[in-house]
Each structure stands twice: as C-alpha cells, then as structure tokens.
Amino acid sequence: MIQVIHRALDLMELIAMDPQKPKPLGELADSLGLNHGTCANILKTLVTRGYIEQLGAKKGYILGSKSYVLTGNDAYHKDLMEASQQAMDELTRLTNENCLLAILKDSQRLIVYRTFAEQDLQVRTSEEKPAYESASGRMLLAMLPAETIERFILKFGLPTDNAWPEVHSKEELFAALSLIQREEFALQTISNRHIVGIAVPIRRKGIVAASLSIYLPEYRYMATDKTQLVNNLRKAAQAINTNLN
C-alpha cells in the first residue's frame, strides 16, 4: 500500500516538472521503471480523483485541477472551479478551443481551471503569467478599483513593450483598462506567436472574482464567427455567475 502511494506521488511529481507538456503513458512508466499496466492503473485512479488529467486517447497526461487546488490551499478556488466546470466543458464543446478560468495573485494571472479542445494545433499557456501579458490578466486588472490599480502600478510598475505593446505610459494603461472595464471584454493579440486571447469577467455576489477566457491560434480566430465566439464566452460566464450566486 505504501509503495503505491509513493508511485502515485512520483507520477505527479514527474508530470509537474513540465506541467504544460502532456506525457504519454510509456514515457511515465519507463522513467519510473514501472510496469505499464501498473502505471496505467495508478494514473486511472488519479484521473478519476481529478489530480491528473488525460488529454484524450493516447494524448498524454497533465496535472489536474485538484493538484492546483492543493497548492493554492484555498477553498475559494475550489468553489470557483466547481461552479465553472460544466459551463467550461460546454464552452469547449461548442467552440472546440481551449478555455481557462483565472484569478489575480499579486502580479500574476493564476489559472484555477482549464479545459482542452480536441484540435491538433492548440494554444497552451502557463499556469502563472504576468497579468499585463494575458487577456484574462488584463480583464482582472481592469475590474479593480482605480486606487487598487494605482497601488498595483506602484508595486509592480508599468507593462513592458513586450508585455503590452500598445501601452507606453500610465495614461495609456488607464485608458486601455477603462475600455476593457466598459466593454467587459478583453482582446489580446500576440503577434510574434500568432495567438489571440479573449476574456470576460466572472462575478460572485456582484464582485469580479475571476476571468473566463478562450485562447486560440490567430488563423482560426480570423476564420471563425467572432460574434458567435464572444456570445458563447459570455453565455458560459453567465452560467458560472449563476452557479456562484
């Protein structure tokens, strides 16, 4: 029994070494010197419990949402995740794109839960990313009170040219955030990576608690029905709001 626990923890630690890169069963088993059948059974249990996620048949394994809840040590994150799972699964089914739910932690956008599409070419983003550098982070910043944004700037500075190319001053930052706040919508294009991100707010008892976003390759964004994409995103956000309130 103790040995099985050690093996399960070894698997989680191995996957966590590069959490954005799905690892196939064979690679995991061989790296730890495990029988493939034994490894598959342990992974199946971890997937069932939500600590590991399998990205479709033969696509490999990544950390599951419960692993991140553990590290956050915050029941609030768990509530957000549970309120969002069904709506986000449906959003990914409708759009066939990756979606993520995020909160603001210091200067970082932190993912609480994510869903994956069945596309051959997918956009992957790190669990933590500077808020200025993501649509979800910008949305979360924009919905803060002005005095809180002032403190954020004082503590973390203005965005660099690489982080937010359209913003070069405090005045431009406030103008950009004000527009996002009014429209309750953030659009980010990462030109050098040909990626587009869109985000909307999630509210809990009237207060913005998280952001819901979709990230996709630029060529698919240009070819898709953008109005329908945004409508699907807003509809999912409203479903999550209802679950939280």
Q: Where are the domains of the chain?
A: 2-63, 67-244
Q: What is the pLDDT of residues 5-55, one digit of tens each?
A: 999 999 999 988 876 578 999 999 999 999 999 999 999 999 888 788 887
Residues whose CB falls within 8 Å of the CB of residue 32, separated by 6 or more in sequence, listed in order:
7, 10, 11, 14, 39
The pLDDT, as a whole number, for residue 73 is: 45
Q: Which of 121-125, 144-148, 226-230 has the highest mean pLDDT?
A: 226-230
The pLDDT, as a whole number, for residue 180 is: 97
Q: What is the pLDDT of residues 149-200, one digit of tens each?
A: 998 998 899 999 889 999 999 999 999 999 999 999 999 987 677 889 999 9
Q: Which token pair is 95?
A: 């759009």
| Assigned CATH for 67-244 | 3.30.450.40
The fold of 2-63 is Arc Repressor Mutant, subunit A (1.10.10)
pTM of the model: 0.69
Helix axes 170-183, 146-156, angle to 10 degrees: 140
User: CA 220 → CA 83, 100, 101, 229, distances in Å?
Assistant: 28, 18, 21, 11
